[in-house]
Chains A and B, each alone.
Chain A
Amino acid sequence: MGSELLLFYAFAALAVGAALLVIGQRNPMHSVLLLIASFAGLAGLYVLLDAPFAAVIQIIIYAGAILVLFLFVVMLLNAGRKEAPEGLARPTTPHGPRQAGAALAFVLALELVWALWRFGQPPVPAGVDRQPAAIVSSVRVIGRTLFTDYAFAFEVTSVLILVAMVGAVVLAKRKVS
């Protein structure tokens, strides 16, 4: 077994194992930490895919910025350990969230089936010229593609984030007054 394959399994195990443990924690703080570990595993996989830029961006944006916000929210809400009430084996969840969760799980399962069905077909449709990974992952190429071919999606995403920010400010203001 090559060292690259060995590394792939190590990183994959870290990413999947940590992701599974995230939902198994009683303490939300530990969940956030495990999510960081999972993202680190993903970054390792990107490095193995010859995409160091994607790996570093994964760390800077997800592990470095977004999860720090998660951590803040968990800390400030002081969401402590979810203890089971007296006499109950485990905490019960209301029906509404349960049904919503079931529906989401069903959608996810469908998506997974679809992805597996596509497996084996060429990932890139015919007509699109394929480039080596090293070229595609270069910063120059990513920047150019982002601001030409995907400019619309890029701008829409930024507007979406702006809307979320304005929404958060409005909600926070209302609470004060």
Chain B
Amino acid sequence: MSLVLIAQLGLVVFVFTALLLAAAAMVYAERKVAAAFQQRLGPYLVGPRGLLQPFADVAKLLLKEELRPRGADAFVFMLAPVISATAAFAAFAVVPFGAETTLFGLLDEPIMLQVADVNVAILVVFAIASMSVYGIVLAGWSSNSKYSLLGALRSASQMISYELSYGLALASVLVLAGSLSLREIVDQQAGSWFHVVPRWFVFLQPLGFLIYMIAGVAETNRAPFDFPEAEQELVAGYHTEYSSMAFAMFFLAEYINMVTVSAVATDLFLGGWHGPLLPESLGWIWFLLKVAVLLFVYIWLRWTLPRYRYDQLMRFGWKVLLPLAALNLVVTAAGMVYFGL
């Protein structure tokens, strides 16, 4: 086997492990940040500063008993969390997170920091996001429980509604970049205007970025759009009946989806791995920083905003966000034609 092939296989393993660790880090960050927001300490007993808390949580979940309600559809009940987790991992495969690298001169020819360079990468992300609905809907249906079913129905209608705005926000960037490849889109954002403002698409598409982030929060079922698991109304929503590792897989999927949404936002709007000061080969540090900032915004939103009412969510999605996203697309396209780009 050639070194490049080994490096690429290593990259697959690396991305998989990194996503798992990112989810663990997010769980820890979420609890610590929440604690800071509420003037508490947060986890501090397990390991130095509570750093090993996520691993203790995983061990606890693994040791719990696996329960399945009577009358549940056994096969679909087991399949649902697998679909959720698989979709979450698969989406990241097409996300580039750094410039070409030779791993500090170890390899003869450079490899890309991306598992699969697909020329329709954006659409793949979108397609996998639309598949992740199934995990939730099937979980709710197969549980044979009213809370699960209600949570799943809410989640599905919410995700379908916001997917439209999400897609239109993506389309605006596509029109601007004239490419479906995430790598090409990132490369178009290199450099800066007047040596001051970085050439990021967020400055050309401020509305598109906002719509993307709002729809992204709704897509990942996070507060203030966490209706599928609104405790006061639905116990725990679609995963009410899940326990042990099956529950952990839904949990994992939610956190990995947040990482993916943030990573795609970084690639589309924030210039990916391009940034000042650092050389191109260390661009992934910029990438990590930007993703971390977006993830912090996720947590920030959750502990700041109360949950909306369900009809407000639907009205906002269809009557505000969708028209705005369509307008943004039309204005972008008109601008492109007007300036002859």
Contacts and interface: CB of A to CB of B under 8 A. Distances in A.
B120 A56 contact: yes
A72 interface: yes
B133 A64 contact: yes
A8 interface: no
A63 B124 contact: no
A60 B156 contact: no
B76 A60 contact: no
B137 interface: yes
A107 interface: no
B141 A52 contact: no
Contacts of B18: none
Contacts of B130: 59-60, 63-65, 68
A57 B138 CA distance: 23
A65 B148 CA distance: 22
Contact of A29 (B76, B120, B124): B76
Contact of A60 (B127, B134, B138, B180): B127
A33 B123 contact: no
Interface in B62-81: 73, 76, 79
A75 interface: yes
Chain A binding surface SS class: helix
Contacts of B37: none
A154 B48 CA distance: 62
A139 B118 CA distance: 14
B119 interface: yes
B181 to A, nearest CB: 11
B131 A75 contact: no
Interface in B171-186: 180
A56 B141 contact: no
Interface residues of A, number: 19
B123 A75 contact: no
B73 A60 contact: no
Contacts of B119: 52
Contacts of B79: 33
Contact of A59 (B73, B118, B127, B141): B127
Interface residues of B, number: 22
Interface in A1-58: 27, 29-30, 33, 36, 52-53, 56-57
Interface of B is mostly: helix
Nearest to A58: B127
B253 interface: no
A29 B140 CA distance: 13
B156 A64 contact: no
Contact of A75 (B124, B133, B134, B153): B153
Interface string B231-252: 0000000000000000000000
A68 B137 contact: yes
B162 to A, nearest CB: 14
A68 B133 contact: yes
Nearest to A69: B160
With a 10 A CB-CB cut-off, give which of A27, A30, A60, A72 has the most chain B CB atoms: A60
A56 B127 CA distance: 6
Interface in B109-144: 118-120, 123-124, 126-127, 130-131, 133-134, 137-138, 141
Interface of A: 27, 29-30, 33, 36, 52-53, 56-57, 59-60, 63-65, 68, 71-72, 75, 139
23 contacts: A29-B73, A30-B76, A33-B76, A33-B79, A52-B118, A52-B119, A53-B123, A56-B123, A56-B124, A59-B127, A59-B130, A60-B127, A60-B130, A63-B127, A63-B131, A65-B160, A68-B130, A68-B134, A68-B160, A71-B137, A72-B156, A75-B153, A139-B120
Given A29-B76, A71-B156, 7 more contacts: A30-B76, A52-B119, A56-B124, A65-B130, A65-B160, A68-B156, A75-B153
Interface of B: 73, 76, 79, 118-120, 123-124, 126-127, 130-131, 133-134, 137-138, 141, 149, 153, 156, 160, 180
Q: Please give me the 9 A-B residue pairs with the lowest Cβ-Cβ distance, nearest first.
A: A64-B130, A59-B127, A56-B123, A60-B127, A52-B120, A56-B127, A56-B120, A53-B120, A75-B141
